[in-house]
Amino acid sequence: MSHNPFATKGDEESFDINEDVVPESTLEEGEYIVKCVGVEKGTSKSDNPMFIWDFQIISTAAGVMIPDAPEKKVYTALTDAAMWKVEETVCAMGLGQVVDGKLQAKFTPSDAKGILCVGVISIGEFNNRPSLNIDKLMPHPSGAGFKGSALG
């Protein structure tokens, strides 16, 4: 980020409200910083157990904050065919690890809440309207499980 909106001038903090912001309607495909705001157990349409993760898209990878931080869901079914997605999500969040080819994780919703990751966003279509999707999660540049500032 080329500009710090919370710069210090001498002994006094200053706030620059002219910082560039990106409205959701203008988001492009690419990498963004996302924050986990919740996770719950659910059941898929095929009656399989799954996790439903809620993420806010809070900034671009370059640190430009996104106003009104849109929330998007990531669904991870707990089936043999979909465990790769569970593994990707849990490991990106620092909530588990792969040992001898198998995912090992034990966490609570409060463990997950507040964790920042890099989310790869794509634009699809839902009901004939553009829809943002989180296609992939990767660890935050400050490390998996990071709960600090979006800017690291």
How does pLDDT run across 80-114, given as a tens digit for each residue? 999 999 999 999 999 999 999 889 999 999 999 99
Is residue 13 domain-resident? Answer: no
Rounded-to-integer distance, Cα 29 and Cα 66, Å: 14
Q: List the strands of the sheet with 30-43, edge to edge.
A: 71-77, 49-60, 30-43, 116-126, 129-139
Structural domain containing residue 69: 27-139
Q: Using an 8 Å Cβ cutoff, are 70 and 56 in contact? A: yes
Is residue 20 domain-resident? Answer: no
Rounded-to-integer distance, Cα 14 and Cα 20, Å: 16
Is residue 114 domain-resident? Answer: yes
In a 13 Å sphere around the CA of 127, the CA atoms on its Cβ side amount to 0
Is residue 146 domain-resident? Answer: no
Is residue 2 domain-resident? Answer: no
Q: How much is the pTM?
A: 0.79
Rounded-to-integer distance, Cα 145 and Cα 152, Å: 12
Count of domains in the chain? 1
Is residue 68 domain-resident? Answer: yes
> How do the pLDDT tens digits run along the chain, 152 residues long?
344 444 455 555 555 444 455 545 568 899 999 999 999 999 999 999 999 999 999 998 888 888 777 899 999 999 999 999 999 999 999 999 999 988 999 999 999 999 999 999 998 887 878 788 999 999 999 999 999 876 65
Is residue 116 domain-resident? Answer: yes
Is residue 59 domain-resident? Answer: yes
